[in-house]
Amino acid sequence: MKVTKEDNAICIALSEANLTRIPAAVTCPTYRRSELKPGIVHIGVGNFHRAHQAWYIHQLMQKGLAQDWAIVGAGVRPYDAEMRNRLLEQDCLTTLIELSPQGASAEIIGSMIDYIATEPGNRGLVRQIAKPDIRIVSLTVTESGYFMDPITGGFDAAHPDIQHDISNPDHPRSVFGAIVAALDTRRTNGAGPVTVMSCDNLRGNGMIARQSVVSLARLIKPELAAWIEEKCSFPNSMVDCIVPATGPDELAMAQKHGVDDKAVVTHENYRRWVLEDDFCAGRPVWEKLGVTMTPDVHDYETMKIRILNGGHQILANVGELLSVDTISACMENPLISQFFQKIERDEIAPYVTSVPGMTPAAYVDLIAARFSNPAIRDTTRRVAYDGSSRHPEFILPVLRGALQGSGSINGLALVEALWARMCEGSRQDGSTIQDNDPHWQQLSVVAKESRRNPQAWIEQRSIYGKLATNIRFYKAFTYWLDLIWEQGVERTIETYLGSESSIPAETAK
């Protein structure tokens, strides 16, 4: 038990033994966690996983279902070891706080029952995946974690971690090395195949996961690769829920609900999950919770990635440059909000197809409302992180589509120019932007050079590929970046929001 200094409220330390002492307003598991059996290994136990996939499993368990689909957490990074320690201290329980504009509510989920130790060689992870009762291996390892060649989109076999795994298949360093090693054991022991389910924001995430697993297996043991291709499943998926990072404010929210939780997660009052129904070893009955099971995820995925994830990039870089801390604050800013709406409606929505029950225009309205939720303190810094992976996934495919047709690219080119300006490392008020990308040092060097020579930025072939040689994109990008440095961010956005006639004709085409 703990007494907070703020308001002398009594907070109960989160644990299995203390569940009966949690305040009644907080919903707790009604199932016997001691009777749960593992069925899923999830790699990358961040906030999103616990607010999304783990929540869905928990809700099925609350209905008396999925008792043999409990989750075992895992990871291969130092961060994962820290998260493991926090969760094991509270018996792998998590407090989820839903933040709607009308108020907050809390629930405790218990669908995770263990967390594998992070260790050199990942032998514990390999052994866990190899167990016969594991039927799904799910992933949230970020967009950059799939070892994709940035130019070809193929498997990056030259990456040092992959080279290590090829030479040391029994002591893998990477997530995919561990999966391949475990599948080799399952094949040998007759435990059967598993479904590898990506929950990351990648177009065709299941196909990309298949590419990573099969390509690595082929380099280690070709007959294993053939078995994986024939027996295992790699469903595509679309996941949708805004989940901010956890900081002191979020920890305090849990305490206000009477729970002392070191790993609390906050999330918006919206979730959606669309899954390709391709599971070789069975699956939970997710459709009972409204999950869309479909043979084709593509249009759902494209709508979400281009409008929501792309919209995040429209806002985040501007917010960082203008010292606007959160996404909701960006939406409250009339200039930034108009900028967001114009690009979404004029330059992104035309390249998105309707899905059952939702048009692109309606989804833009929905996203605008969700981004405006003042209860969600989703920082522009978090959303802007890893732009070198997010821009190629969320913005550039739309830009390429517009260049192939007759659509405007001015807003999309301006988004790229704003990202280049942000990577220079200073805000418009002169304050420093701290490193915010795995390749920040390299990006900063190029961003500083691009102030004198804008072409230097788009010549980063690992990001822009053949776009570097597109004269229309080059002219638009150069125009905007020069204008940003000459007149500042606000004046540049005002120019974009004004009349196309204020933009040079060769750029506005």
CA-closest candidate to residue 110, choices 194, 26, 199: 26
Residues lower than pLDDT 70 in the chain: 1-9, 499-509
Counting Cβ atoms within 10 Å, is residue 253 exposed (0-12), middle (13-18) or buried (19+)? Answer: buried
Task: Give Cβ neighbours of residue 82 (< 8 Å, ≥ 6 apart).
Answer: none
Please name every residue paired with 276 in a beta bridge, in sequence order, or none if there are none: 294
CA-closest candidate to residue 419, choices 333, 329, 283, 318: 318
Given this model, what pLDDT does residue 144 score?
A: 84
| Residue 81, token pair as written in the block | 């070891």
Q: What is the pLDDT of residues 271-330, one digit of tens each?
A: 999 999 999 999 999 999 999 999 999 999 999 999 999 999 999 999 999 999 999 999
* Sheet with 272-276: strands ordered across: 237-240, 272-276, 292-294
Which amino acid, 30? T
Given this model, what pLDDT does residue 503 score?
A: 62
Given this model, what pLDDT does residue 282 score?
A: 98
Q: Which residue shows structure tokens 């299995």?
A: 16
Strands (E), 111-215: 112-115, 136-139, 195-198
CA-closest candidate to residue 47, choices 221, 217, 239: 239
Query: CB–CB of 454/423 below 8 Å?
Result: no
DSSP line for 223-283 = HHHHHHHHH-B---EEEE---PPP-HHHHHHHHHTTEE-TT-EEEES--EEEEE---TT--
All domains in the chain, ordered by first residue: 27-94+114-244+274-294 (3.40.50.720), 299-508 (1.10.1040.10)
CA-closest candidate to residue 420, choices 407, 433, 403: 433
Distance separating alpha carbons of residues 433 and 414, to the nearest angstrom: 20
Which amino acid, 111? S
Distance separating alpha carbons of residues 19 and 15, to the nearest angstrom: 6
Given this model, what pLDDT does residue 298 score?
A: 96
Please name every residue paired with 94 in a beta bridge, in sequence order, or none if there are none: 109
